[in-house]
Each structure stands twice: as C-alpha cells, then as structure tokens.
Amino acid sequence: MKLDLDVQALESLYTTMVKIRRFDERTTELFNAGLVKGTAHSYVGQEAVATAACAALGEGDYITGTHRGHGHCIAKGASVDRMIAELMGRETGYCRGLGGSMHIADVDANILGCNGIVAGGVPLGAGAALAEKLRGTDRVVVAFFGDGGANQGVVHEAMNLAAVWKLPLIFLCENNQYALSTASRRTTAGQSIAGRAGAYGFPGVQVNGNDVFAVYEAVRTAVARARAGEGPSLVEAVTYRWGGHSMRANLPDYRTKEEEREWIDRDPIAFFKRALIESKQTTPMRLKELEEAVEIELDRAVEFGKQSPEPTVELMEASVYAPHVEVTGPEPPAGTREVTMAEALNEALHLEMEHDERVFVMGEDVGLIGGIFQVTKGLRDRFGEDRVRDTPISEPTFLGAGVGAAIAGLRPIVEIQIWDFVAMTMDQIVNQAAKFRFMLGGKPTVPIVIRGPQGGGIRLAAQHSQSLEAWFVHVPGLVVIAPSNPYDAKGLLAAAIREDNPVIFLEHKALYATKGVVPAARYLLPIGKASIKRQGTDVTLVATQAMVSRAVAAADDLAKGGLSVEVIDPRTLVPLDEETILGSVRKTHRLVIAHEAVKRGGFGAEVAALV
C-alpha cells in the first residue's frame, strides 16, 4: 500500500471512512427505534470504496449512487444532518423527506441521486457524462453499481454507448458478492466483472475494495483517462457488506458465520488505521480525536433530524410538477401556408435548436437519414453530429442518458423510432424521469421530450400499431401531449421543448403526411389548453389524434340532418383542460368520446369518469 498523500489528505480519508461506518451504525439504531422511515441499506464493510473513489474526484465531478448509497453521498461531501433528516422523513432533509434512504441526492453538489432500481443510475450517469462532453468541460462521472447490477442490460448498453461516444464515465462496480441473498458466483459469468470492459474496448481493473489506496489509484487513473478525452473505464472493487441486504428484509441466514468472520477480519478501517500508525503518518491519539469529532457531528445530526418538521401535503403535491411553460397572448393565426405534420414538427425542432443551444436530439437513425418519418431531416446538416446523435439500438440506455443529461442541465429530445418500443424504456421513464423531481423534494427539473410515432392505420401489425397514451397518463410527473394536426404539432412541440417537466409527445404515424396551414415563424401553444375544433350545441364529441379529423367529418355530416356537434380536441392529455370539456357538456348535456385505443382502461374512460 502506497502512502503518497499528505497527512491532511490521509486524515480526511480516515475521517470519511469512520463517518460512513458510524453513520450507518447509527442508522441501524434509529431504524430499530422506529425513527427511520421506509428502510435503509447498510454500507458497513464497504467504506474504502466510496471514500477512495470520491477522493479522486473534483468538486465539479458527478456521481450516481445505488440503494446502498449513504457512503457515496458522505464521501462526495453531503452533510450528515440533512441525510439523517431525510432518513427520518423530515422536511429539512436533502429531499425534504420525500425520498428517504434510497434516493438521497444533492444536485447542487452533483450527487445525482441514489437509486432504488438496481443499476438504474448508470444510464443517468452516462447522460451527465454526455452533457459535460457536449459542454466541452473536463468533468467526469462515477456511476456506482453492485455485482447484481452488473448483470442488468442497461449496464452493458451503457458501456457500449460510453465507449462509442468516448464519454468521461467511470463504471465502478462494488462487488460485495451478494445480490440480496444470491452469491454472485452463481449468477455472474466470466472470470471477473472487470474483464467485461475488454469487450467494449476500454480498460477494466479488479482491485481489493477493502484497500482504500488500491481503489484510489485505480479510480485516479480512470479519472485522468476520462479527463484527457480517452473515454470510459471500469473498476471492480471486491469487498463485502457486513450486514444483511436491508434493515427491513428479515431474511434467513444465507452466508456462513465463517465467511462473515473472515471478511470482518479484513475490516478496511482497521487495515487503514494500522497502516497510518505503522508508517508514522499520525498517532493513535490523533485518530481518536478524529473519531470523537465524528461522534459529535452525528449526535448533532440526530438531534437536528428529531427537531425537524415533517413535510406537508401541500409540499408533496407541489413537488410532482415544475411550473408549466408560460404562453401568453392569443394563439397565432394559421395563415395560408400548407405543410405536412412531419414538416411542421421538423420546423419546430429547427427553430428551438436555434433558440437554445442546450437542446439536442438523439435516437435511432435521427441523424444521417432524418428518422424513418423524416421528422429530424436536415438537423444534422444544420447543427452537427454532437447535437443530432444517432444512437445504438439500446432504447433503455439512450433514453436514460437523455434523462441524465436533462438533470445535468441540458434539454434533450429523445426519439423512440416506433412508439411500441417504448415498452423497453419504462423504468427510465416511470421510475427515473417521472419521479425524480418528487423524490428530491420538488427542487430539480427534468426537461426532456420523449417523442415518436404511435397508433395504427398503416398495417404494421400489433407490435407497431398500439396507442399507449393511457400508460403515461397514469404516471404522475409526466406531461402527455397528443396533437392532431400540423398547426398544433408545431406549437405544442416548441412548448414541450421549453417545458421543465418530462414530456411524452405522441405523434400519430397516420398523420405525418396530412397537410394543414402553419405559420412559418416560431410560436408556442399553451400546455393544458384544449382546442374546440367545431362549435355545437346538441352533443359534445371529445376526440384525440387521428380521431379528431374523423370526428369533425362526422359532425359535418350530422349537421346536414340538423344535429349540432361540438368537437373538442384536448391536445394535452396531462394536464387536461377539464374546464373546456365540462363547460361544453354543461351546454350540450351529451358526451361522445372517440379515441384509438383499447376498449377498457383507456384515456376515454378517464374523460367519461370526469364528466
């Protein structure tokens, strides 16, 4: 073990390791006393990994953590008082009491969140790394994951994506040898997890995760490589968690006492302490002083948490959505110029990318050929490959990278080539993009647009023809937009790109070639405002997407027989313009709903229930 750091740095490493250990030991006490809400996952035994990794980072660098993330946060500089308050579900916590142990984050300190989904933070880390690469900085990202997470598809996809794009990303696998209760040797192929890096063309190294200096040297080398623009690295730190999977699990014993004792004898803190004393870098008395200072800090943190208030219902409700983009004034006149819906969407993309350099587009085939429906045609010629990025066919990870880039301050637009493929991405949409703001107490924004062609009508069979809007209407935190014509499509896409919430933007594939009058200038349409496509007095007809033009045609036919039909296009499904729909039904006393989806559990059922 090399001791080539100065005394102050060595004492800082020791203090951090002790603080991580004592924090989680105190957490266990607080959990048993009923003060910790939900559950928590102890990091005891693994302290050297987070301590060393974060010591190799600068203040501006990022980390993404795991469900066992207390050590990651402390090592990156999080304050233990706000962490304790978060564990207790108090408003003074990092997430204002709405995230708990598994989701502690501090975006201001570039701690992009611990994560309750195994390996869920790895694509987010790739996105943060992409954001810094696009900005031209030398910042790097460390994405922590466990040996269980190493077998998640998004980890392999992220390794490929990071290698192809030479992202400044360090994959740090904390191999504590058990995924909940299953030994990694029973579930993980190959000689080592580190060895997998070779398949993607970048370095991978396995180190003793209980040796703080071995981890530090490995991560420092990887960080230097990333800063130099040479791309990602993989570090596998072999370690051991002393406790069970979680404080709430109550699982039967799945490890032998002999194995546990063997690893406790390899205590990383005791190992480091002996090395410091034997090398005469410090004295036992000085280390005792550092330990006592940690105890005082934790005592104050516990008292701070106990004295803090719990979050209010009003705070929780206000944390789901950021304020929607403001659009003032009347909607602009359509004029006389006719374009197709695909062309209208393309114009919106061009104009918004010119307006804001933080906006970029990525997806399968969006660059060279402009997408299979030509919505992104010409964007690469105008804005270059960095801002119009063709991706691998790995929807979960490139969408997750979009979420990470949005959290890091950019405004990505991610195209799903055919909307049915969105099923591959549901974790990143539902568990990451939609919940991120709420679980962090309503402070961060996730300004991402996820767009693509849905619906039937062109004989592409069941895997390419679904109308899935009800999936996303069901998820708090998402904005859902579904235009029915070129004019609405251009104005709503522009508004979606400026929105600070994640937006699901549904483009019906049968409408791409339809023409309509559209202004050439930039304009925004309000999110959450329906459009009355035809005035009427006898019956209200609410229709969406491709059904709107059919509803108007049916209304015109019925008018010949003396029946007056009012046709309403919600345009935005979330937030829904309830006032316009209810106002119309109060006038007509009758309601017909037309949407292209399954008979039960669809968006139309929600409108019917509302009325």
Per the DSSP assignment, residues forming a β-bridge with 174 are 146, 237
| 513: CB partners within 8 A, 6+ apart | 340, 341, 342
What separation, in Å, do the N-terminal and C-terminal C-alpha atoms of the chain show? Answer: 71
Is the bond preceding 575 in cis, omega lying within 30 degrees of 0? Answer: yes
Query: Regarding beta strands 233-238 and 169-175, do their DSSP bridges make them parallel or antiparallel, or are they unpaired?
Result: parallel
Q: Annotated catalytic residue: which of 464, 474, 508, 595?
A: 464
Q: Which 8-state DSSP code applies to residue 253?
A: P
For residues 519 and 533, give the distance between their C-alpha atoms in angstroms, rounded to a whole number. Answer: 18
For residues 406 and 449, give the distance between their C-alpha atoms in angstroms, rounded to a whole number. Answer: 10
449, containing H or E segment: strand 449-454
Burial class (CB in 10 A: 0-12, 13-18, 19+), 555: buried
For residues 401 and 464, give the distance between their C-alpha atoms in angstroms, rounded to a whole number. Answer: 24
Q: Give 22-88 as a DSSP string.
A: HHHHHHHHHHHTT-S-S-----TT-HHHHHHHHHTS-TT-EEE--SS-HHHHHHTT--HHHHHHHHT
| 237: CB partners within 8 A, 6+ apart | 48, 49, 172, 173, 174, 175, 207, 208, 209, 215, 218
Residue 282's Cβ-side half-sphere holds a number of Cα atoms within 13 Å equal to 24
Rg (CA), the chain: 27
For residues 577 and 528, give the distance between their C-alpha atoms in angstroms, rounded to a whole number. Answer: 5
464 labelled catalytic: yes
For residues 401 and 158, give the distance between their C-alpha atoms in angstroms, rounded to a whole number. Answer: 9
- Active-site residue list: 464
